[in-house]
Amino acid sequence: MRLDLTGKVALVTGSTQGIGRAIAAGLARAGATVAVNGRKPDGVAAAIDTLREHGEFIAAPGDVSTDDGTAEVLAAVPRVDVLVNNLGIFGAQEPLEITDDEWRRYFEVNVLSAVRLTRAYLPAMTDRGWGRIQYIASDSAIVTPTEMIHYGMSKTSLLAVARGFAKAAAGTGVTVNSVIAGPTHTGGVEEFVYQLVDRNLPWEQAQHEFMLKHRPQSLLQRLIEPEEIANMVVYLASPLASATTGGALRVDGGYVDAIVP
């Protein structure tokens, strides 16, 4: 299959590291010009330096969980054909110790940032008759983890947001989907793993213990690599996925114990 995005402009939020950076690289390899986003200009510039071998990139710094930061990104990238709402925060916390401020922060960063950008870019996509919007959700959207209920709540919300905006874009040539990512190997997840297992363990042993004790449903029985998530995102962004919209597509290593999401 040829996943050709030549001439398209893509924006990936939270793309200076981890899954976001892998998605940015994958979209660029398919021919898109990719806007790399992070809160700090220096971090965005450093990420682009590591990505240049994959294709063409532009800088789009700004904290999209805020109105001012979103305005900065919109000014840097006024036209977007492919919007990937990847930005997200996570962390383990005892359920009854999550404060109101933390509940609000998770919703602001993980959900409203994506809604805000969708509201900004969707009208022009529908006018042009082509566009792709994706939300990077999580297995936690379906299998709520007791150690981070606030995170699970935010990812469940993204499934509803994606389905709703897909209906809003019905018949326009714009597709809207969510991607349910399973436990994925990133720097942030390594730190998360060590919050739950013995920090003195070597990484491979720590990962094994984490999967065994905290993610035993995984059929893959290992953490997913960011590039494996990116492969699904690039496909959904391509013209070949023109009939896939309103969906919640799983790249979860079989973690969610269901035939369909």
- SS3 of 71, please? helix
SS3 39: coil
Exposed e or buried b per residue across 204-228, where buried means at least 16 C-beta atoms within 10 angstroms of its C-beta = eebbbebbeebbeebeeeebbebeb
Average pLDDT over residues 190-209: 91
Q: How far apart are CA 112 and CA 145, in angstroms?
A: 21
Q: What is the mean pLDDT of residues 104-122?
A: 98
CATH code for the domain of 47: 3.40.50.720
Whether 210 is in a domain gets the answer no
* pTM listed for this prediction: 0.94
In this structure, what token pair is assigned to residue 115? 């809604």
Range with the poorest average pLDDT among 51-55, 181-185, 224-228: 181-185
| Residue 46, both tokens | 């450093």
Q: Is residue 152 part of a domain?
A: yes
Average pLDDT of the chain, as a whole number: 95
In a domain, 261, yes or no: no
Question: How many domains are there within the chain?
Answer: 1
With beta carbons less than 8 A apart as the criterion, state whether 44 and 16 touch. yes
Q: Note the pLDDT tens digit of each residue in 4-25.
A: 999 999 999 999 999 999 999 9
pLDDT at 114 over 70: yes
Residue 145 lies in a domain: yes
Does the residue 178 lie in any domain?
Answer: yes
In angstroms, rounded to a whole number, what is the distance separating the alpha carbons of residues 155 and 106? 10
Residues 6+ apart with CB under 8 A from 143: 152, 217, 255, 256, 257
Say whether 135 is catalytic: no
Task: Identify whether the C-beta of residue 83 lies closer than 8 Å to the C-beta of residue 161.
Answer: no
Nearest to 157 by CA among 136, 188, 132: 136
Q: Which domain holds residue 174?
A: 9-188+225-251
The two structure tokens encoding residue 130: 């082509």
For the segment 134-139, the average pLDDT, to the nearest whole number, is: 97
> Based on the number of CB atoms within 10 Å of its own CB, is 1 exposed (0-12), middle (13-18) or buried (19 or more)?
exposed
Asked if 185 and 251 touch (Cβ cutoff 8 Å), the reply is: no
Mean pLDDT of 89-104: 94
| 147-196: pLDDT as tens digits | 899 999 999 999 999 999 999 999 999 999 999 999 899 888 888 899 88
Of the residues 106, 121, 135, 151, only one is catalytic, namely 151
Does residue 213 sit within a domain?
Answer: no
Q: With respect to residue 164, please indicate whether it lies within any of the assigned structural domains.
A: yes
Residue 260 has pLDDT above 80, yes or no: no
Residue 149, domain member (yes or no): yes
Lowest mean pLDDT among 62-71, 214-223, 245-254: 214-223
